[in-house]
C-alpha cells in the first residue's frame, strides 16, 4: 500500500517509481506526475511488485512541494531468482 499526502496550500504533482539495483536508469513508473490538489491524498493499493535485494522505491514530489508518504510491504525470504544476461 502506498499513501501520499499533499501538505501544501497549492496543487502539486508527484511521481513514484521502482528502480532496479542492477540498472539505476531502469525506472518503472507506478505514478507519473499525478496532480494532487491542496491538502489532498492519494492511496494506491490495487497492485503488487516483487522487488529484489538492492531495488528501491522512490517517491518524488514536485520541486518545492511538501508531501508525506507511507509505504507498506511484506518482507519475505525467497530463493533468489535467475537473471539472464541483458535483463
Q: Output the tens digit of pLDDT for each of the chain's 87 residues.
A: 999 999 999 999 999 999 999 888 989 999 999 999 999 999 988 878 888 888 999 999 999 999 999 998 888 777 777 777 665
pLDDT attached to residue 68: 95
Q: Is residue 38 part of a domain?
A: yes
pLDDT attached to residue 27: 92
Q: Is residue 87 part of a domain?
A: no
Residue 11 lies in domain = 2-71
Q: Is residue 12 part of a domain?
A: yes
pLDDT attached to residue 73: 84
How many domains, in total, are found in the chain?
1
Cell 501520499 belongs to residue: 4
Q: Is residue 82 part of a domain?
A: no
* Beta-sheet strand order (sheet of 2-6): 41-44, 2-6, 67-71
pLDDT attached to residue 37: 95
Q: Is residue 30 part of a domain?
A: yes
For residue 70, what is its C-alpha cell?
A: 507511507
Amino acid at each position: 500500500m502506498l499513501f501520499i499526502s499533499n501538505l501544501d496550500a497549492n496543487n502539486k504533482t508527484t511521481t513514484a517509481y521502482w528502480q532496479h539495483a542492477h540498472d539505476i536508469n531502469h525506472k518503472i513508473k507506478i505514478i507519473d506526475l499525478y496532480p494532487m490538489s491542496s491538502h489532498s491524498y492519494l492511496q494506491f493499493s490495487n497492485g503488487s511488485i516483487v522487488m529484489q535485494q538492492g531495488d528501491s522505491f522512490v517517491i518524488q514530489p514536485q520541486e518545492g512541494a511538501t508531501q508525506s508518504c507511507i509505504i507498506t510491504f511484506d518482507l519475505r525470504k525467497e530463493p533468489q531468482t535467475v537473471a539472464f544476461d541483458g535483463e
